[in-house]
Amino acid sequence: MDKLDFLLEESKKGSPMTLALACPYGDDALAAAVRAQREGIVQMILLGDGERIRRLAEQDGLDLDGISVVDEKDDGTAVARSVKMVSSGEADLLMKGLVKTSTLLHAILDKEWGLRTGSLLSHLFLFEIPTMNGRVVGITDGGMNTYPDLNAKAQILENAVACYH
C-alpha cells in the first residue's frame, strides 16, 4: 500500500467532514470530489454554475448522486459563498477548483466573513513521489510568501507542523 493510500484509509475512519469546492470545472477537481464523496472521506458541496458542473460530470461519466450542487453562475460569488460556508461552520473544509487564486484569496481575507486567524497565511502541498519508493513530501509556500523574514518563516513552520503532524 502506498503511503498516500494509507492516509486515505486513515481519513475514512472518522466521520466525513463537509467540503465546499468552489468552481469544480477542471476534470481533476470534479473527479476528486466525486471519489472523495463515494469513498466516505467527505460530504461534498459543489459551488458554481450548476449546469456546467452537471454537464462536465456527465461528459466524464461521474455520478453526482448524493452530492449537493449550489448554483452560482458567477465565480466570485461561488468562491465567496464557499468561504462563508466554512466561516459559519456549514462546511469544514475549503477546496479551490478552476478559479483564479486571487479570487479565492480575496474571499478568504475578507474582514467580515473571511477566514483570517491572525497568523500568517501559507500554502501547503502534500504529494507522493512514486519513483522514490513512494516517499511523501510536504512543501510549503511555493509562491505565497516569496521573501519571508525570520518571524514569517517561524509561522510558516508552525502552520506546516500543525498540518502535517
Asked whether residue 116 is domain-assigned, the answer is no
Tell me the C-alpha distance between 82 and 77, whole Å: 9
3-class SS at 46?
strand
Nearest to 100 by CA among 119, 121, 74, 127: 74
DSSP lists the bridge partners of residue 2 as none
**Residue 133 above 90 pLDDT?**
no
Summary mean pLDDT of the chain: 90
Is 70 in the same domain as 99? yes
- Dihedral sign from CA coordinates of 56, 76, 99, 22: negative
Query: Tens digits of per-residue pLDDT, 68-106?
Result: 999 999 999 999 999 999 999 999 999 999 999 889 999
User: Which three cell numbers, joined as nine digits, stand for 87?
Assistant: 466561516
Asked whether residue 36 is domain-assigned, the answer is yes
The residue type at 41: I
Is 97 in the same domain as 139? no
Is 32 in the same domain as 98? yes
| Mean pLDDT for the stretch of residues 3-21 | 83
Asked whether residue 91 is domain-assigned, the answer is yes
For residue 40, give every residue at least 6 positions away whose Cβ sits within 8 Å of its Cβ, in sequence order, or none. 12, 16
Question: Widest CA span of the chain, in angstroms?
Answer: 49
**Structural domain of residue 54, as residue ranges?**
3-108
Is 87 in the same domain as 28? yes
Asked whether residue 77 is domain-assigned, the answer is yes
Is 22 in the same domain as 67? yes
Give the pLDDT confidence score for residue 154 in this predicted structure.
94
Is 93 in the same domain as 30? yes
Instruction: Indicate the pLDDT class of residue 130, thresholds 50, 70 and 90.
Output: confident
Q: Which DSSP category does 29 fall into? A: H
**Residue 149 above 70 pLDDT?**
yes
Total structural domains within the chain: 2
Give the pLDDT confidence score for residue 27 in this predicted structure.
67
Is 66 in the same domain as 144? no
Indicate the pTM of the whole model. 0.83
Give the pLDDT confidence score for residue 116 in this predicted structure.
81
**Residue 164 above 60 pLDDT?**
yes
Would you say 19 and 91 are in contact if contact means Cβ atoms under 8 Å apart? Answer: yes
Asked whether residue 149 is domain-assigned, the answer is yes
Q: Residue 17, Cβ neighbours under 10 Å: how many?
A: 13
**Residue 1 above 60 pLDDT?**
no
Asked whether residue 92 is domain-assigned, the answer is yes
User: Which three cell numbers, joined as nine digits, stand for 138?
Assistant: 510536504
Is 98 in the same domain as 151? no
Supply the CATH number for residue 48's domain: 3.40.50.10950
Is 33 in the same domain as 99? yes
